[in-house]
């Protein structure tokens, strides 16, 4: 081994001792604040360079005039996150399948990750395949596939004689999940849709059909069904399981203590500090309760606070469609979710 190789290895080991200048035992990746960082090292890719970004998330391409939202870095309390290294990620996960399963926020994170990897693998031409509800970007030199499988409820939804029915205690489409080596699940935003966006009419549990049920009760039953499925069907020695926490929306300024602001439109900076002035989401505790009861608990990517603080990170009117204060510009906030995912995977 050369002197330079030894030096590189030493720096690498030291950088992760305590997760980069911090005490790992005290480090909570999800408690911190956003700090200004306009250095080139904080720019992992741009929306103009990555070919995998949906039009509705490509704020730069759609003419957003400011770029300040790109110049903030998430700073946990007692440590710093290591810089994302795409080549390291691909090498460590050689031959693996990485699958995001969930709603459009899962897709948001999936697009972010493939752009981060593409930026570090420009000499390789990745392929993208869309087939039904699944999309796959492959990096053939490494044998790595990064997939997104659309499934916003995780449990089954079927059409019966009475209408559209959410079967809260049934999962019949999990076979694809078993093929993955790394699974990142998500489910929340479809549950809180109302009006024309609501996609079900009834709930079913066993033989019982319900027209009405407290939303968080239904969500808890469904997540418990998912958790039991994972415990029964996923081998933790082969597959790592993550759950993407609840991503914030910013449709009403009063939610963050600014009643005179209508929504996320025109916001150019995050909420300063370590605390969000508004309420937490009721689904947060449901997710934590269900995960704690799993035989092999999924790792919670607890992104709620770090997204609540980023009222400036949404496409807003640059979404190539209706006002969007729910999804996230790419490049942007979801890159931090993947930076944390990368850090957690490196620790194992």
Closest CA to 238 of 291, 300, 174, 183: 183
What's CA 151's distance to the chain center, in Å? 14
- What are the Cα distances from residue 305, in Å, to 9, 22, 160, 256, 292? 34, 21, 39, 12, 20
Q: What amino acid positions are annotated as catalytic residues?
A: 104, 324, 327
In the structure encoding, which two tokens stand for residue 120, read together? 């570090």
Q: Are 62 and 18 in contact (CB under 8 A)?
A: no
Secondary structure (H, E, C), 111-142: HHHHHHHHHCCCCCCCEEEEECCEEEEEECCC
**Other C-beta atoms lying within 10 Å of the C-beta of residue 126:** 21
């Amino acid at each position: 081994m050369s002197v330079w190789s030894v030096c590189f290895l030493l720096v690498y080991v030291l950088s992760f001792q305590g997760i980069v200048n911090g005490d790992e035992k005290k480090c909570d990746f999800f408690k911190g604040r956003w700090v200004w960082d306009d250095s080139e090292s904080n720019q992992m890719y741009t929306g103009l360079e990555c070919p995998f970004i949906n039009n509705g998330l490509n704020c730069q391409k759609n003419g957003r005039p400011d770029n300040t939202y790109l110049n903030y870095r998430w700073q946990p309390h007692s440590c710093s996150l290591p810089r994302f290294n795409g080549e390291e990620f691909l090498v460590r996960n050689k031959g693996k399948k990485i699958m995001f399963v969930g709603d459009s926020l899962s897709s948001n994170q999936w697009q972010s990750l493939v752009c981060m990897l593409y930026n570090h693998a420009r000499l390789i031409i990745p392929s993208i395949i869309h087939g039904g509800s699944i999309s796959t970007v492959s990096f053939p030199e490494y044998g790595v596939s990064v997939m997104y499988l659309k499934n916003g409820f995780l449990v089954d939804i079927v059409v019966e004689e009475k209408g559209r029915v959410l079967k809260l205690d049934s999962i019949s489409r999990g076979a694809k999940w078993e093929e993955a080596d790394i699974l990142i699940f998500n489910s929340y935003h479809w549950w809180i849709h109302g009006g024309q966006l609501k996609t079900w009419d009834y709930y079913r549990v066993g033989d019982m059909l319900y027209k009405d049920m407290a939303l968080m009760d239904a969500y808890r039953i469904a997540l418990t069904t998912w958790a039991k499925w994972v415990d029964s069907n996923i081998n933790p020695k082969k597959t790592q399981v993550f759950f993407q926490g609840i991503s914030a929306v910013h449709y009403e300024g009063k939610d963050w203590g600014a009643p005179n602001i209508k929504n996320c439109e025109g916001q150019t900076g995050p909420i300063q500090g370590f605390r969000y002035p508004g309420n937490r989401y009721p689904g947060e505790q449901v997710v934590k309760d269900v995960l704690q009861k799993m035989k092999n608990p999924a790792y919670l990517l607890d992104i709620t606070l770090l997204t609540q603080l980023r009222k400036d990170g949404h496409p807003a009117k640059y979404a190539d469609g209706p006002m969007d204060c729910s999804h996230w510009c790419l490049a942007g906030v979801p890159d931090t979710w993947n930076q944390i995912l990368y850090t957690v995977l490196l620790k194992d």
